[in-house]
Amino acid sequence: MAENVVATYYYPTAAPAAMEVCGAELGKGASDKCFDDDGRPKRNGTMWTASSHIITAVIGSGVLSLGWAIAQLGWVAGPAAMLLFSLVTYYTSSLLADCYRSGDPSTGKRNYTYMDAVNANLSGIKVQICGFLQYANIVGVAIGYTIAASISMLAIRRANCFHQKGHGNPCKVSSTPYMIIFGVAEIFFSQIPDFDQISWLSILAAVMSFTYSSIGLGLGIVQVIANRGVQGSLTGISIGVVTPMDKVWRSLQAFGDIAFAYSYSLILIEIQDTIRAPPPSESTVMKRATVVSVAVTTLFYMLCGCMGYAAFGDGAPGNLLTGFGFYEPFWLLDVANAAIVVHLVGAYQVYCQPLFAFVEKWAAQRWPDSAFVTGEVEVPLPATRRRSCKVNLFRATWRTAFVVATTVVSMLLPFFNDVVGFLGALGFWPLTVYFPVEMYVVQKKVPRWSPRWVCLQMLSLGCLVISVAAAAGSIAGIASDLKVYRPFKSY
């Protein structure tokens, strides 16, 4: 019974009466027109909607820290690291896309979530480890995005203050009220039930990401022209400006920042589950979307990161649009930061939907007869054409509590660069490399010690070393920040 309740609540099964009505209305077989091969409502996603989801998730606040990251690594290692991460992300995402269906890529059993794919191919303790890492990383991303959004809202206030009172004025402002504002907005948008219904928000967020990235790029070009030359060096920030140990920690943290900027594999399967049924197969469409998304994001990352370093050299700010490397035109900075906030509202939802769905599915299986968990209540909407809307009380309560909790934690740890670097390091190797590689080996039956198997294991081992090093650098940065940080203080 629990299974039927879960299916009915999350993914309505093809009930005979519903199929007949649907078929009668559309004049065709309901199974062809209304439902997919698994009995769930027809998926309508395309390469473009999948690309918008990926771009929304990928071109996030991380793009703004890339100028700082390249400043730590220099003109040689910085762009090279960016290109390396883009190639690794594309390759492992292609491996992961093949795991959406077990067996035949067009007719095999669907794996609806990342955990389902791991369970179908690896099973055992690895499923629990994957689930913990995936959902812990989603919580971390929610915290990171709350911090980034509040910093951008704070930057609007400070940009106006600098314009009115001069660049020498400290213009200290607390980020706490802005985190609360962002949290309230996320409580509202978190009530959107699932991925299928946030395409419009994802597309809007993707447009916003191009908007602020373009503004940052344009301001960087203007600054380079004003400087009458390109700043920076081949090896990055010099020892002397920082200590040798700080140089090491900063370089490692920069790798974490770049890894975070490409991190979206943990929600790839969930995005792929929105793509319409074959032909062509979902994996084919997802690979095309990955090519488009990774190519576009890498181009933007190279332009924004390199131009940020070219404009400010070793003094590149940790956040290109909020670190006040730029002060004027203040209104353009306001537009860019407002676009960041709108983008992060959407990105927060794209990342958190898998966690929301997991908890709600578990609760429905655990308490299938509970009206609070599986039932809905009608809420009147007097000011709209619709007289009422249906609301699930458990969904409303749980999602609100999640947003409140992540907002409170964000108030306590508002370290943008260090948090971004740590999140990138935490999720990059296991979710972007290890599990996709291991699932691909099992699904394609790659012989142990064959040349392909050895190359895949070497790729995984190399990325593990990078992740551990980047995590160490970010932890060192957070430890340094905590020595001088005071909660809820204005900065």
Q: Tell me, what's the pLDDT at 287?
A: 92
Q: How confident is the model at residue 172 (pLDDT cuts 50, 70, 90)?
A: confident
38 SS3 class:
coil
pLDDT of 349 reads: 86
Tokens, residue 49: 């909607």
Helix (H/G/I), strand (E/B), else coil: 228: coil
Which of 332, 341, 303, 304 lies closest to 320 in space, CA to CA? 304
Percent of the chain with pLDDT over 70: 81
Question: Any idea which residue has 């909407």 for tokens?
Answer: 381
Residues 6+ apart with CB under 8 A from 96: 117, 265, 268, 269, 435, 436, 439, 440
How far is CA 64 from each of CA 86, 218, 302, 321, 417, rounded to the nearest angstrom? 17, 13, 11, 7, 10
Indicate whether 323 pLDDT > 60: no
For every residue of 398-450, DSSP letters joined together read: HHHHHHHHHHHHHHH---HHHHHHHHHHHHIIIIIIIHHHHHHHHHTTPPTTS
Kind plus residue range of the DSSP H or E element containing 378: strand 377-380
**Higher per-residue pLDDT: 399 or 162:** 399
DSSP 65: G
Phi, psi of 290 (to 5 degrees): -65, -40
| CA–CA distance, 79 with 257 (Å, rounded to integer) | 13
- 218 vs 303: CA distance, rounded Å: 10
Please determine, for residue 131, whether its predicted confidence score (pLDDT) is greater than 70.
Answer: yes
What confidence score (pLDDT) does residue 121 get?
86
In whole angstroms, give the CA distance from residue 134 to residue 115. Answer: 8
What is the rounded average pLDDT of the residues 228-241?
A: 80
Average pLDDT over residues 244-264: 79
Give the Cα separation of 99 and 317 in Å (integer): 40
90 burial via Cβ count (<10 Å: 0-12, 13-18, 19+): middle
pLDDT in tens, 413-457: 656 556 656 766 777 788 888 999 999 998 888 898 899 999 999
Strands 377-380 and 101-102: unpaired
In eight-state DSSP terms, residue 43 is P
SS3 (DSSP) at 281: coil
- Report the chain's C-alpha Rg in angstroms: 23
Q: What is the pLDDT of residue 288?
A: 93
66 vs 283, more confident: 283
- Asked whether residue 143 carries a pLDDT value surpassing 80, the answer given is yes
* Interatomic CA distance for residues 135 and 138, integer angstroms: 5
State the Cα–Cα distance between residues 55 and 58, nearest whole angstrom: 5
Each domain of the chain, given as residue ranges in start order, spans 46-356+411-483
Cis peptide, bond prior to residue 244, ω within 30 of zero? no
Q: Which residue has the higher pLDDT, 205 or 21?
A: 205
Q: Are 399 and 356 in contact (CB under 8 A)?
A: yes
Give the range among 108-112, 195-199, 257-261 with minimum mean pLDDT: 195-199
Cα 125 to Cα 122, 130, 131, 150, 327: the distances in Å are: 9, 9, 10, 38, 52
Which tops the pLDDT comparison, 473 or 393? Answer: 393
Average confidence (pLDDT) over 68-75: 87
- Digit-coded pLDDT (tens) for 20-47: 445 444 444 444 578 877 778 888 888 8
Helices marked H in 268-329 — which ranges? 268-272, 282-312
Calculate mean pLDDT across residues 451-476: 86
- Find out whether 428 and 263 touch, Cβ atoms under 8 Å: yes
Give the pTM: 0.76
Question: What is the structure's pLDDT at 384?
Answer: 59
Strand segments, DSSP code E, in 56-192 are 101-102, 109-110
Name the architecture of domain 46-356+411-483.
Up-down Bundle (1.20)
Segment 104-131 mean pLDDT: 85
pLDDT at 451 (0 to 100): 92
Total residue count of the chain as it appears in this document: 491
Residue 353 has pLDDT above 80, yes or no: yes
Give the whole-angstrom CA distance, residue 38 versus residue 35. 8
Give the C-alpha separation, 12 to 8, whole Å.
4
pLDDT band at 7 (very low <50, low <70, confident <90, very high): very low
pLDDT score for 5:
35
DSSP reduced 3-state for 366: helix
Which neighbouring-strand residues pair with 20? none
Report which of residues 5 and 93 the model is more confident about.
93
What is d(CA 175, CA 179) in angstroms, rounded to the nearest whole number? 6
How high does pLDDT run on average in the chain? 79
Q: CA-CA distance, 149 to 185, in Å (whole number)? A: 11
